[in-house]
A and B are shown apart, each in its own frame.
Chain A
Amino acid sequence: MQEISLTDDRRSLVGEAFRSKSFSLGFLLTGAFIVAAVLSLVWTPYDATAISVAEKLRGPSAAHWLGTDHFGRDILSMIMVGARTSIAVAFVSVGIGIAAGVPLGLWAAARQGSLVDEIIMRANDLVFAFPALLIAILITAVFGPGAVNAIIAIGIFNIPVFARLARGAALTLWTREYIFAARVAGKGAVRISAEHILPNIMNLLIVQGTIQFSLGILADAALSYVGLGAQPPVPSWGRMLADAQTMISLAPHMALFPGAAIVLTVLGLNLMGDGLRDIFDPKLRRSR
């Protein structure tokens, strides 16, 4: 019997991470888009909002690597700036999910079986029962379209995900003997949750966070595709696709590149998530 522990290895996590092919590839892909997004703050090949109708619908060329759109804007520049919006929306909405969901889940777990637990979990189920995209559309109908409201709409649906995850993981931990030891040491539920539970579910949260991040990118793309995400002139991948749709027979490049950007970013994040899960999960690690 070899000694196994849940979350032991703190020493060489980074080294371990890059030994995972999934993680490395995912990191590379995601990293590329994050770099592009950051770079777009200071430099893009062209001004992403500069309209030049005369140069509209040009295919990829030396001047415009990924071609131009129906207003003659440079698609590469738009994708770079769009990366910024997408990543920001997804990141903040995951943040909302974690910030609200994790404490709720921990609270429910600490009071397992109580009314609080019941209410939190039923409310979670209820949110899950709502058709997410429809509610997002309703939310933007109420507050108007825009990146901030897209964040709120996506964030709301991240809350139950993290609440459930945190509760489930915390419940297992609450039966661990070190939690009993902490309780014997007189520590209250809040303290135990913060000191013992939270750090030990961090791995799970990171993995889920990565996955929700990628889902957030997809959700943002869907919302801005129906016109509810970031508003023009700020480019967004979803709206670029919506614009491209009417021209798909004329200028397929307008649809291909932003779509590929979405796929690669989401793929990168998912691969990273998978890699992280393998690294964090000692069961899998042993078998490798």
Chain B
Amino acid sequence: MTLLQIDNLSLSILGLNILSSVRFEVDRGEVVGVIGESGSGKSMTAMSVMQLLPHGTEVSGSIRLDGEELLSKSEREMCRVRGSDVGMVFQEPMTALNPVKTIGDQVAETVMIHKGVRRAEALAIARETLNRVGLPEERFPLTRYPHELSGGQRQRVVIAMAIALRPKLLIADEPTTALDVTTQAQILALLKKLVDEDGMGLILITHDLAVVADIADRIVIMKSGEVVEAGPAVQLFRAMQHPYSKALMAATGHHPVRKPPHVALDAVPVLEVSSVVREYALPRKTLFARPGAFRAVNNVSFKIHKGENVGLVGESGCGKSTLTRAILALEATQSGEIRVGGELVTTKSGASLAARRKMQVVFQDPFGSFNPRHKVRRLVTEPFYLMGRDAPTGAALEARIAESLENVGLSARDADKYIHEFSGGQRQRVAIARALITHPSLIVLDEAVSALDVSIRAQILDLLADLSDRLDLSYLFISHDLSVVRAITDRVMVMKAGQIVETGETEVVFSNPQHDYTRQLIAATPDLEAALKRREIAAA
């Protein structure tokens, strides 16, 4: 008998259909990857198993765990199932833990709720479980509070809570999405280890095919509340049937076609960063001690030439965001110079308009980067403020708006819409249109595709590649995602602890990393193709 059997599961919230006839199964000791983009219903499927659904939800079909129908269980009965038979791990480790309780208490709570044991006993089990998930007693006593742990460590605590009673089934909903790549690799390894040790079933929900490629035994691909394709992992990856699966697969490893760049090494560099230092004051340790300083950017120098796309990669906290803000003259530096097209971005009298005119930016969040009260016309023309009286007016202005909207694949008519009328991908196009409107020589792309679904991401990457070729633009492409950087840049810089540890031609760095850290990063980055090859070799 299979461990979990989902049959014909349909679900609607206040009349809105979320899931229709979902069907898949999970066996003991089996890892099932459930893959889908936003709105595919993958999380709602998981919550249906847990029976933790919002008010006004109607469910039909069947979910059987070990042969027992979960949908017909009462709330009281479900409470006994949750945490005991089925554990769950969530996406956001930063908020998934109660901030005012110690990690020991939180793990022990699972035990006490279900086993009715005394606190001391529950704490002993909690200790043991934390050891299992890689939080040894010396460094992680039970009395730690969540805020004293890093994101990865917190995720381990959440996992410990979910597996403390060795459940039959573990559901992990995007467990690594909020984590850095190296941490992601560790958490995935931990989950795999736990599955092997306890023989439990694991549903691993993710939007990223590459994440599950290594460990999933079977794959379920969902779209708009339906399962479009399911099957054993390697076979399914190698022989996709459904067009959506194929598109998803293609988008995941998408490399836009790019012309070889013609880099003008002799001209004035579009961006020149020399010996930049940015420090933050730390709070005083004692009242009279001098406050210490944290060096977020430590003596960084580099150049970007005309026509060149340069990537800046690093994990969270490495200083790449601070560096970006410094380049954009949004933040002061303690020493060093930043020049755009030969002009200092920050002069004594503040940020230089002349330098800024040559540089534009595209941010990560397609929802937060526009004032919701303005129309697209006003949004995309905002950079003209930099040109003061030189800004075009009248017909010239209309032409520029049309030009930049059309450049990004929108139409001139879109200028009179509000931003909420656009989808996430379209908004990112508007953001690019805004960046293009002053005809800059450099565009800073700050995690510009990170928030997008893979298929949309592929389209935007194509657009960026195309623009760079056509308009002879230079990009500074900042991202934590190595695969994306690899796809779009000519040169890459790897940043760690405020310093650039390695720099070089993208392909050279990726195929032959020199620095230990670079190697670590590359090894940790999920790579679908490589993973499949490994598994095929192992199988053979």
Contact = CB atoms under 8 A, between A and B. Distances in A.
A and B, direct touch (CB closer than 8 Å):
yes
Interface of A: 1-10, 176-178, 180-187, 195-196, 199-200
A3 B424 contact: yes
A177 B385 contact: no
A184 B383 contact: yes
B356 A186 contact: yes
Most chain B CB inside 10 Å of its own CB: which residue of A8, A181, A195: A181
B418 A178 contact: no
B386 A178 contact: no
A196 B379 CA distance: 11
A8 B373 CA distance: 7
Contacts of B411: none
Interface in B519-536: none
A180 B386 contact: no
B450 to A, nearest CB: 13
Given A3-B420, A186-B385, A177 B365 contact: yes
Contact of A10 (B356, B361, B368, B373): B373
Given A7-B372, A177-B369, A181-B431, 4 more contacts: A3-B424, A5-B420, A181-B382, A186-B386
B330 A180 contact: yes
B386 A185 contact: yes
Given A3-B424, A186-B351, A196 B371 contact: yes
Nearest to A176: B368
Nearest to A179: B371
A184 B372 contact: no
Interface residues of B, number: 33
Sort A-B residue pairs by CB-CB distance and give the 7 closest, nearest first. Answer: A177-B369, A177-B363, A1-B38, A8-B420, A186-B386, A185-B383, A177-B368
B39 interface: yes
B383 to A, nearest CB: 5
Contact of A181 (B38, B351, B372, B434): B434
Contacts of B39: 1-2
Given A184-B360, A186-B386, A200 B330 contact: no
B155 interface: no
Given A184-B383, A186-B351, A8 B356 contact: no
A239 to B, nearest CB: 44
A183 B434 contact: no
Contacts of B364: 177
B237 interface: no
B353 interface: yes
B24 interface: no
Nearest to B382: A185
A182 B382 contact: yes
Contacts of A178: 368-371
A176 B364 CA distance: 11
15 contacts: A3-B367, A7-B372, A7-B373, A8-B418, A177-B369, A178-B368, A180-B361, A180-B363, A180-B369, A181-B361, A181-B434, A184-B329, A184-B359, A184-B361, A186-B351
B423 interface: yes
Interface in B335-375: 351, 353, 356, 359-361, 363-365, 367-373
B351 A8 contact: no
Contacts of A186: 351, 353, 356, 385-386
A184 B330 contact: yes
A242 B214 CA distance: 80
Nearest to B355: A186
A5 B367 contact: yes
B372 A185 contact: no
Contact of B369 (A10, A181, A195, A199): A181
A184 B444 CA distance: 11
B464 interface: no
Nearest to A191: B385
A181 B382 CA distance: 8
Nearest to B56: A287
B13 to A, nearest CB: 11
Interface in B401-455: 418-420, 423-424, 431, 434
Contacts of B418: 8, 10
A180 B331 CA distance: 11
Given A1-B39, A3-B423, A177-B364, A184 B356 contact: yes
B108 interface: no
Contacts of A181: 361, 363, 369-370, 382, 431, 434
Nearest to B385: A185
A32 to B, nearest CB: 32
A186 B359 CA distance: 11
Contacts of B360: 184
B365 A5 contact: no
B191 interface: no
Nearest to A188: B350
A144 B369 CA distance: 52
Nearest to B356: A186
A179 to B, nearest CB: 9
Contacts of B369: 176-178, 180-181
B222 interface: no
A200 B360 CA distance: 24
B205 to A, nearest CB: 13
B434 A200 contact: no
B328 A200 contact: no
B34 to A, nearest CB: 16
Nearest to A182: B382
Interface string B19-40: 0000000000000000000110
Nearest to A288: B14
Contacts of A195: 371
A182 to B, nearest CB: 6
B373 A199 contact: yes
A178 B363 CA distance: 9
Contacts of B384: 185
Given A1-B38, A180-B328, A186-B353, A8 B368 contact: no
A249 B342 CA distance: 87
